[in-house]
Amino acid sequence: MKLFLIFYLVFFISIFKANSKKLIIADISDNKINIDVGFKGAKLLFFGVIDEEGDVVVSVTGPRKTVKVRKKEKKMGLWLNSDTKVFFDVPYYYYVASTRPLKELNAENVFQINQVGLENIRFAGAEEQEERSSWVNGIIKSMIEAGRYNPEQGLIQISDKRLFKTELNFSAELVDGQYLVDTLLLKEGAVIAARRSFINVSKTGYGEKIYKMANDNGLLYGLTAVFFAFIFGFIVHEITRRFYA
C-alpha cells in the first residue's frame, strides 16, 4: 500500500510539473463504495499535492434528500408533536477535515459560501432565522446521533509542505448515491484553488437485487415476501411437529 502510494505521488508530481497551472491535485484510493449484505463501513484514503503553501480543507457531502421533521413540545406537562416541516436538500452524510482547525483559518465567509462545517450546511425550507436556529440544529443533532454527520473535524497531514493525505471514514449507515468531495486550498483566508472529486456509493449483490425489486415492482415483491414468510412458517411447524411427535 505504502509503496503504491509513493509511486502514485511521484507519478502525480511528474504531471504536476507538466501542468503548472493546477495548484491542487487530489485523488481518492477508491472512487466507489459497494454496499453488500455484509457491509460494515468503508475507509478511503484521500491524498494529493499542492503547489503553493497554504491550508487544505476537504469536505465530503452525501446525497441530498427530502426530510420531514416533527417537533415535540411540552403542553400541560405532556410531550406532544406540535409541528411538522419539510426540508429539502438535506445531505445524508457530512464530514470535514483540514490541516488546522477551521476557526484558525479566518475564512468564515468562504466557509459559508462553500458550506464548509456543520453550521454552514444549507437546507431548502429553512430560510427564516428562527428555523435556521432551532429546526436545522435539531436535524444536525439527529444526523450526528445516527452516525451520518461527523461532529469532529478530521485532520489533514501535510508532509514536505506539498503532499497531503487524510482518511475518510464511512459508517455502515450509508445511503447510496453520489458523494461530493470538495477540496479547497486557502491562503490568508481566501481560496486560491479548488477541486471536486466524486465517490459513488451503490448497493451490490443481494442488497441491490432486493432494493431494485422492492422499488420496481412493489406488488410482486410484497407477494413474494408473504410467500417466503408462509413457507418459513410452514416448515417450522412441520419440523417441530415431527420433533414433538
Per CB under 8 A, contacts with another protein among 89-118 are none
Looking at the Cβ atoms of 158 and 210, the one nearer to another protein is 210
Q: How many CA atoms lie within 13 A of 92 on its CB side?
A: 15
Q: Annotate 16-63 with DSSP letters as a single string.
A: HHH-TT--EEEEES-SEEEE-TT---EEEEEEEEESS--EEEEEEE--
Looking at the Cβ atoms of 172 and 190, the one nearer to another protein is 172
Contact status: 208 vs another protein (CB under 8 A): yes
Going edge to edge, which strands form the sheet with 94-98? Answer: 32-35, 190-203, 177-187, 55-61, 94-98, 154-155
Query: What pairs with residue 95 in β-bridges?
Result: 60
Instruction: List C-alpha distances in Å: 67 to 36, 80, 88, 126.
Output: 25, 20, 6, 12
Least distance to another protein, CB of residue 224, Å: 8
Contact status: 124 vs another protein (CB under 8 A): no
Looking at the Cβ atoms of 7 and 232, the one nearer to another protein is 232
Least distance to another protein, CB of residue 32, Å: 16
Among 5, 32, 39, 100, binds another protein (CB under 8 A): 39
**Which residues make up the interface to another protein (CB under 8 A)?**
35-41, 65-74, 77-81, 86, 135, 138-139, 141-143, 145-146, 172-176, 203, 206-208, 210-211, 214-215, 218-219, 221-226, 228-230, 232-234, 236-237, 240-241
